[in-house]
Amino acid sequence: MLGCEFQDQDDLNTQRFFEAVETWSSDLNNPEEEARYEVALIAELQSPRETLNVTAFANQYIDANQRDSFMTVMRESNVVTTPIPKDITLVSRKINRVKFQTSRGATVFVTRDMYDDGSVTIKKSDTGSKSEIRIIDEVTSISAAGGKQIKKAP
């Protein structure tokens, strides 16, 4: 149509942002940074704010020396960099996660529904000083922290 411009839906813009941040952070090949940015991403999308502002996100969460590369990836991924209405409909299963952190540095994220339906359980060991996290599901891949698949699922 003449004079009309197609505008992406808010849920698609939010999904595009989510996927671009995950891609950018996994490409850093630094598990600690990737985990920190994953937590920031989830916090941003779960926040009560009704708008999503990529520039504000970068300024608040991304290290200053990484902001240029972050914003470049956002633009290359066609992420709208001006404030937009946030709609988490398409990413809600991915961001509604429960995080388990262990004293030895292991981090486990599971979807909220897996935690609620008992697919994930935590049990104290017999000695009482340690815990066992049990996940009942089909293993589809095993990856390094940077996202690179290191082993096919058994």
3-state secondary structure of 39: helix
| Domain range summary for the chain, segments of one domain joined by + | 10-85, 96-140
Q: Is the pLDDT of residue 149 over 70?
A: no
Residue 31 has pLDDT above 80, yes or no: no
> Cα(147)–Cα(154) distance, rounded to whole angstroms?
18
Statement: the pTM of the whole predicted model exceeds 0.75? no
The whole-number average pLDDT for the span 91-114 is 81
DSSP, collapsed to helix, strand or coil, labels residue 99 as strand
Residue 111 and residue 119 in contact, taking contact as beta carbons nearer than 8 Å: no
